[in-house]
Amino acid sequence: MDELVRAVEATLFAAEEPMSAEAISTHLGGANVKDALAELEEQYRERGVQLVERGKRWHFQTAPDLAHLLRREREETRRLSRAATEVLAIVAYHEPVSRAEIEAIRGVQTAKGTLDVLMEAGWVRIVGRREVPGRPVIYATTPLFLSHFGLESRKDLPGIDELRAAGLLDPVEDALAAAMDVPDVGETEPAEQESTD
């Protein structure tokens, strides 16, 4: 392989910024690098890395068709936090709802990040502004929310009365105590249902 071509190749590879032909030439003691550049450009044409000229300056860069390799996405499954689940539930039951309204219902401040997480998950989106002073942003659930939770529509969400009947409106401690008192319920019920299959 031609020594000058090798030298130009190494110089451009190690350079921290694109270099003009003149700068390369100066760096290599005044050699004429035009042919070497053309040869290198040709040698790299089909490779994963290419030699390109941009505004009279040369540099190596990843082949355009491989640009996706430079930025990759890695997917990670994460469980929604308790706070985020609560906020999601409030949005689902009360939509459209502003952040202040969510906070009023939850009784605690809601970090901005919590809503961001729900929007990142694709379950909640901004649907406009409430026409009241301050024009707060209002949130609602998305079709993705319905499909993720297997709901035909929001009407499928159990009502307050059903929640109460299921014991889901009892304070946590009471519900737990109740569950501890009647340990047999969970075991007898399925046995009965078996015959209905």
Residues numbered 118-177 forming contacts with a copy of itself, rule: CB under 8 A: none
When CB distances are held under 5 to 8 angstroms depending on the partner's kind, the choice from other proteins, a copy of itself, none that residue 150 binds is: other proteins
Q: What gap in Å lies between CA 161 and CA 83, rounded to an integer?
A: 23
Q: What gap in Å lies between CA 138 and CA 37, rounded to an integer?
A: 59
Closest separation in Å from C-beta 197 to a copy of itself:
38
Give the closest residue to 23 by CA, choosing from 13, 35, 12.
Answer: 12
When CB distances are held under 5 to 8 angstroms depending on the partner's kind, the choice from other proteins, a copy of itself, none that residue 73 binds is: other proteins
Residue numbers 12-51 binding other proteins by CB under 8 A: 13-17, 27
Q: Is 60 in the site for a copy of itself (CB under 8 A)?
A: yes
- Lookup: tokens for 31: 């050699």
Q: Is 23 in the site for a copy of itself (CB under 8 A)?
A: no
Task: Residue 24: count other Cβ atoms within 10 Å of its Cβ.
Answer: 21
Q: What gap in Å lies between CA 182 and CA 176, rounded to an integer?
A: 10
Closest separation in Å from C-beta 158 to other proteins:
4
